A and B are shown apart, each in its own frame.
Chain A
Amino acid sequence: MIAEVQKILESYQFNKTRMMDILWDVHNKNGYISDDVVDEIARSLNMSPLDIKETASFYHFFHDKPAGQYQIYLADTVIGKMNGYYDAREALIEEVGCVFNNVSEDEKFGLFDTNCIGLSDQEPAMMIDKVVFTQLTPEDIKEIISEIREGKTPEEIANPNGHSRKDVAYIDGMVSTNIQRTGPVFFRKDRNYRALIMKMLGTYPGEVIEIVQNSNIRGRGGAGFPTGLKWKLCSEVETDEKYVICNADEGEPGTFKDRVILTRSPKDVFMGMIACAYSIGSKVGIIYLRAEYWYIKEYLEAQLEEMRHDGLLGEKILGQEFDFDIRIQMGAGAYVCGDETALIESCEGKRGAPRLKPPYPVQEGYLGKPTIINNVETFAAVSRIVTKGADWYKSFGTEKSTGTRLLSVSGDCDYPGIYRIEWGITLNEVLRMIGAKDTQAVQVSGPSGECVNPWQDGERIFCYSDLSCNGSLMIFNNSRDMLDVVKDYMEFFVDESCGTCSPCRSGNVDLLHKINLVVDGKATQKDLDEIVSWGNIIKSTSRCGLGMSSPNSLLNTLIKFPKIYKRKLAKVTDMVNPSFDMHAATSVHENLYKKLQEEAK
């Protein structure tokens, strides 16, 4: 392995900012990153081994000890749990022969939990190394595991027709794109990118920015910052190096629209990046792709290669003085990398810890240079805006929230999948469209978003000033216990907090403890009051969006669904706090006495 490490390092010119790629190459070869490999990398790059371990240990797909020849990750999302997750989990334990977070005795399989893998409309779903299996039944699992034991690779099972990884059929064989409702903006066929780039290169960069600004499009990642303004600010910084990054770290549980855009219309995204690069003066673009989407990487690379071949990417694009190329940077399992500055840190080969702002990425981003980071959907939409013009785009949506957006719909409805909506549509209209019945609650924008009650909120409007949805829409009908949902979301945030700032690292653990008390029937009104107070402290003092939004689901449901909490409150009968478990506290001694006396004999 040591000799191979040198080769890997060479392939990245011993550039430590490519640490993510270096670690992935090691991991792909070896199945884990051993201490001696870390030492070798450290020695060669003149770093301390700890410096490498701090990066490697941050990402949950990197293992530091053998983790099985085949690494299985079952998505333990709340939507999966409503759709046969537990059966799938049992079946995996049974077939693999070990419990979760362990390696089977023959070291053939490692079994792990993972958060949402962007397949909420077809769960239960799991990854085995770089391929995925969806809508799993215990029978499927039995078959998959026994076929692997017989010598087939997971890829051979997932791709029985032997499609090339470069072919979209490879992806379509594994996952459904489930596009339920489309429109004039996304997924258009037969687009002439050459003509578009030609036309764009005939205008000034400032004109492109003007079109984007005039369209009033706002970032589709969730924060909703005006895209044109962002580009303008970046274009005004005078420097020779700038970067364009596409945020394809679609980590918000319940979203999968970026996966679908990248599968169906990848060149729209690249086109948006090209437009951005031209307008701000950048030569290098990066797509930060989450590791859960390994199976679309080679397809994307083939699409990029096609564009290079057509002269639309690379040096002297269409013969003009405009160089721009795009590379794909793989993530390695960290929700927080969806935060733009954490994503930059990760691209630089470091822990995905969000930076302090200011400076903002448009001032100092990737490698300290001005950087534009936009979501997949934003770039795809921009590619249409520069084609059809700002007025065309503004004809959709509302005055202040222009255009359309894609929703990833999952949970209790007849037709989960991808929906194009125009801003301005009401929640009730959406619920009717997706075939949601007997709806108790709707989680808008994933766990970090807002939990709404259709009885009260049905006429609320999807737009930036009301329901500013980041694309995730999870539906829960009246048979669901929303406390389980909230608990699941808190577990998610405890798992995914980067740990840099104390309120998020530690405070979320305390909130999880509280929701557990509620679920166990041991909470009092004081606990509910503390949830509100502590939740507000975490929201107000955390360093990045993760901590600023992690208490949302708890705080929202306390307001929207107070009854689900009240009915679980403990009946206080004496002076003892209901949260104190008298039996657990006092019974251990006797049990140990019996056990230890037995052993002493």
Chain B
Amino acid sequence: MSSIKKNEIASYELPATQLDEKSRKARDEKIQIATIALCGCWGCTLSFLDMDEKMIDLFDKIAITRSSFSDVKRIPHRCAIGFVEGGIANEENIETLIHFRENCDILISVGACAIWGGVPAMRNLVSLEDCFKEAYLESPTMLPEQEKILPFHEDLPPITNKVYPCHEIVKMDYFLPGCPPDGDAIFKVLDDLANGREVDLPREINRFD
């Protein structure tokens, strides 16, 4: 795992603006949700926004603690639900996913990438060596005189040998397929969880594309 050097500060260590007491209290009583986009296209996260007006009622019950929208890097306190988009394609993805597992009671794999690797996993049919060559060393878009460099630095997370589904690294509790899943499907799963119901995605809104 990459480590922070002595004279460096990670962005998630920076002080955040404190909420006023009333708002904070109201928020703390809700079901805490954290979301993350690992190796994916953020489509699932955008689909989250497709819940549209249904969000209003839902947000009476839930609060988003850490999210891709708010750019809070670490989960500040224990969350009930972790909403994970994207598969595992580099070491930072692994670290983040483990951080989510350690800090969330329930983890949901959302979308094709989290569930089985999705579009990024198309590289699993090609060796990492060939991927690197195609992307960096023999790229058709390289300038003729350009120096051939394969990025590698201690501050950059190493790319994994292949793209992994999240559940191969840690236990995932629920799976919500789709590329991306519809806002309705996301709402149904969150609403079931927020109301203490068994998660039950109706067949009509389950889809893989």
**Which residues of chain A have a CB within 8 Å of any CB of chain B?**
574-577, 579-580, 582, 584-590, 592-593, 595-597, 600
Q: Is B51 an interface residue (CB 8 A)?
A: no
Q: Which 6 A-B pairs have the closest CB atoms?
A: A589-B158, A593-B152, A588-B161, A575-B101, A600-B148, A585-B160
Contact in complex: A586, B148 (CB < 8 Å): no
**Are A585 and B164 CB-contacts (below 8 A) given A575-B98, A596-B132?**
yes
Q: Is B128 an interface residue (CB 8 A)?
A: yes
Q: Is B78 an interface residue (CB 8 A)?
A: no
Q: Is B94 an interface residue (CB 8 A)?
A: yes
A595: chain B residues within 8 A (beta carbon): 129
**Are A580 and B152 CB-contacts (below 8 A) given A588-B128, A592-B129?**
no
A447, B159: Cα distance in complex, Å: 42
A595, B130: Cα distance in complex, Å: 13
Instruction: List the B residue with the shortest CB-CB distance to A595.
Output: B129
| 10 A/B residue pairs, CB under 8 Å, sorted by A | A575-B101, A576-B169, A585-B160, A585-B161, A588-B161, A589-B159, A596-B129, A596-B133, A596-B137, A596-B150
**Are A586 and B160 CB-contacts (below 8 A) given A580-B168, A592-B128?**
yes
Q: How far does the Cβ of A191 sit from chain B's closest Cβ, in whole Å?
A: 63
B50: chain A residues within 8 A (beta carbon): none
Contact in complex: B152, A589 (CB < 8 Å): yes
Q: Is B173 an interface residue (CB 8 A)?
A: no
Contact in complex: B161, A579 (CB < 8 Å): no
Contact in complex: B129, A589 (CB < 8 Å): no
What is the 8 Å Cβ interface bit string for chain B, positions 162-191, against chain A (1 contact, 0 not)? 101000111100000000000000000000
Instruction: List the A residue with the shortest CB-CB distance to B151.
Output: A593
- Helix, strand, loop or mixed for chain A's interface? helix
Q: Which of A579, A584, A586, A587 has the most CB of B within 10 A?
A: A586
A587: chain B residues within 8 A (beta carbon): 158
Question: What 6 additional pairs, Cβ within 8 angstroms, besides A575-B171, A585-B164, A600-B148?
Answer: A576-B170, A580-B164, A585-B160, A585-B161, A586-B158, A590-B152
B192: chain A residues within 8 A (beta carbon): none
B102: chain A residues within 8 A (beta carbon): 575
B168: chain A residues within 8 A (beta carbon): 577, 579-580
B133: chain A residues within 8 A (beta carbon): 596
Instruction: List the B residue with the shortest CB-CB distance to A601.
Output: B148
Interface size class of B (residues with CB under 8 A): 20 to 34
B137: chain A residues within 8 A (beta carbon): 596, 600
A587, B94: Cα distance in complex, Å: 13
A577, B172: Cα distance in complex, Å: 11
A574: chain B residues within 8 A (beta carbon): 98
Contact in complex: A584, B161 (CB < 8 Å): yes
B152: chain A residues within 8 A (beta carbon): 589-590, 593
Within 8 A of A (CB), among B95-151: 98, 101-102, 128-129, 132-133, 137, 148, 150
Q: How far does the Cβ of A24 sit from chain B's closest Cβ, in whole Å?
A: 37
**Which residues of chain B have a CB within 8 Å of any CB of chain A?**
91, 94, 98, 101-102, 128-129, 132-133, 137, 148, 150, 152, 158-162, 164, 168-171
A589, B151: Cα distance in complex, Å: 10
Contact in complex: B169, A589 (CB < 8 Å): no
A600, B138: Cα distance in complex, Å: 10
Q: Which of A576, A584, A585, A595 has the most CB of B within 10 A?
A: A585
A593: chain B residues within 8 A (beta carbon): 150, 152
A600: chain B residues within 8 A (beta carbon): 137, 148, 150
A597: chain B residues within 8 A (beta carbon): 150
B171: chain A residues within 8 A (beta carbon): 575, 577
Q: How far does the Cβ of A598 sit from chain B's closest Cβ, in whole Å?
A: 11
A577, B161: Cα distance in complex, Å: 17
A580, B165: Cα distance in complex, Å: 11
A80, B161: Cα distance in complex, Å: 37
Contact in complex: B150, A586 (CB < 8 Å): no
**Are A590 and B161 CB-contacts (below 8 A) given A575-B170, A577-B169?**
no
Instruction: List the A residue with the shortest CB-CB distance to B170.
Output: A575
A580, B160: Cα distance in complex, Å: 12
The one of A577, A585, A586 in contact with B170, judged by C-beta atoms closer than 8 angstroms, is A577
Q: How far does the Cβ of B191 sit from chain A's closest Cβ, in whole Å?
A: 27
B159: chain A residues within 8 A (beta carbon): 588-589
A585, B98: Cα distance in complex, Å: 15
Instruction: List the A residue with the shortest CB-CB distance to B160.
Output: A585
Instruction: List the B residue with the shortest CB-CB distance to A585.
Output: B160
Q: How far does the Cβ of B120 sit from chain A's closest Cβ, in whole Å?
A: 14
Contact in complex: A586, B132 (CB < 8 Å): no
B158: chain A residues within 8 A (beta carbon): 586-590
A576, B97: Cα distance in complex, Å: 10
Instruction: List the B residue with the shortest CB-CB distance to A580.
Output: B169
Q: How far does the Cβ of A408 sit from chain B's closest Cβ, in whole Å?
A: 43
Q: How far does the Cβ of A209 sit from chain B's closest Cβ, in whole Å?
A: 56
**Are A592 and B169 CB-contacts (below 8 A) given A575-B102, A585-B164, A586-B158?**
no
A575, B171: Cα distance in complex, Å: 8
Q: How far does the Cβ of A574 sit from chain B's closest Cβ, in whole Å?
A: 8
Contact in complex: A586, B91 (CB < 8 Å): yes
A589, B169: Cα distance in complex, Å: 19
B98: chain A residues within 8 A (beta carbon): 574-576
Instruction: List the A residue with the shortest CB-CB distance to B158.
Output: A589
Q: How far does the Cβ of B78 sit from chain A's closest Cβ, in whole Å?
A: 14
B170: chain A residues within 8 A (beta carbon): 575-577
A587, B128: Cα distance in complex, Å: 12
A579, B164: Cα distance in complex, Å: 12
B128: chain A residues within 8 A (beta carbon): 588-589, 592
A593, B149: Cα distance in complex, Å: 9
A580: chain B residues within 8 A (beta carbon): 164, 168-169
A577, B162: Cα distance in complex, Å: 17
A577, B128: Cα distance in complex, Å: 23
A355, B137: Cα distance in complex, Å: 53
Contact in complex: B94, A585 (CB < 8 Å): yes
A586: chain B residues within 8 A (beta carbon): 91, 94, 158, 160-161
The one of B94, B101, B129, B162 in contact with A582, judged by C-beta atoms closer than 8 angstroms, is B94
A596: chain B residues within 8 A (beta carbon): 129, 132-133, 137, 150
A298, B91: Cα distance in complex, Å: 64
Contact in complex: A592, B148 (CB < 8 Å): no
A579, B159: Cα distance in complex, Å: 19
Q: How far does the Cβ of B22 sit from chain A's closest Cβ, in whole Å?
A: 35
Q: How far does the Cβ of A128 sit from chain B's closest Cβ, in whole Å?
A: 37
A408, B185: Cα distance in complex, Å: 60
B129: chain A residues within 8 A (beta carbon): 592, 595-596
Contact in complex: A592, B160 (CB < 8 Å): no
Instruction: List the A residue with the shortest CB-CB distance to B88.
Output: A585
A596, B133: Cα distance in complex, Å: 8
